[in-house]
Amino acid sequence: MEQRLTQSQLAQIVAEVERLSQRQQEELDTEEIREILQELNLQPELLEDAIVQLRRREALSAQKQRSRLVISTVAVILTLAIAITIFLKQQQQQTLARILVQQDRITLGQDDSSQVNTVSRQANSELFYRVTLTEAPIGKKLPLSCNWKEPSGDIVHQNRYQTKAITTFIWNTYCRYTIDSAAPTGTWKVEMYLGDRLLSDATFNVK
């Protein structure tokens, strides 16, 4: 069956034939090369070794190019990964920086919406430091902590916890500590932190 070609295919074939013809004209056979070496007063018997060395250098050059391409690709990927990591970290920091405290108060176990200012150490009172956050990030879990400080300023108890996944912009959280009969009297302080950032603090008296 006779094979028919389009004008576009014919043009491509003509171009390929011209390329192969040009390449054939540029290439020299072994005998021509030996004659040239003799004319240059060089040793024709070294031709085979020279060809081997030439092929090795060409292969080494191609390998170096591939290696440079791989290294460049890896460098680009690492740069993009670092840039994305920095961007996400900055976004996270900005999100956390927007969190504010709308309200905070100290209560007993039964929260009746009142504020406790004074407790008796003889009652072994369990205190709750209740904090209402605003601009809380939806879907995130916040790393919170509380420091309970006695009148001397020493930390006698720490709470460290992670909230549940936040579902509303206004978010209530709390930490707690029991004042026992050995607690020193005076003005105590409780502090709530978001990571290393102080969110709020409150004082109360123990008698």
pLDDT digits (tens, 9 = 90+) for 51-63: 778 788 888 888 8
> Helical H runs in 47-204?
47-97
Average pLDDT over the chain reads 85
Q: Where are the alpha helices (DSSP H) in the chain?
A: 7-26, 30-39, 47-97
Strand partners, 160: 145
| Backbone dihedral region for residue 10 (phi beyond 0: left; psi -120 to 50: alpha; all else: beta) | alpha
| pTM (two decimals) | 0.59
**What single-letter DSSP state applies at residue 180?**
-
Query: What's the confidence (pLDDT) of residue 6?
Result: 81
Collect the ranges in the chain with pLDDT lower than 70.
Answer: 1-3, 5, 20-30, 37, 44, 47
pLDDT of 72 reads 87
Contact 141, 115 (CB under 8 A): no
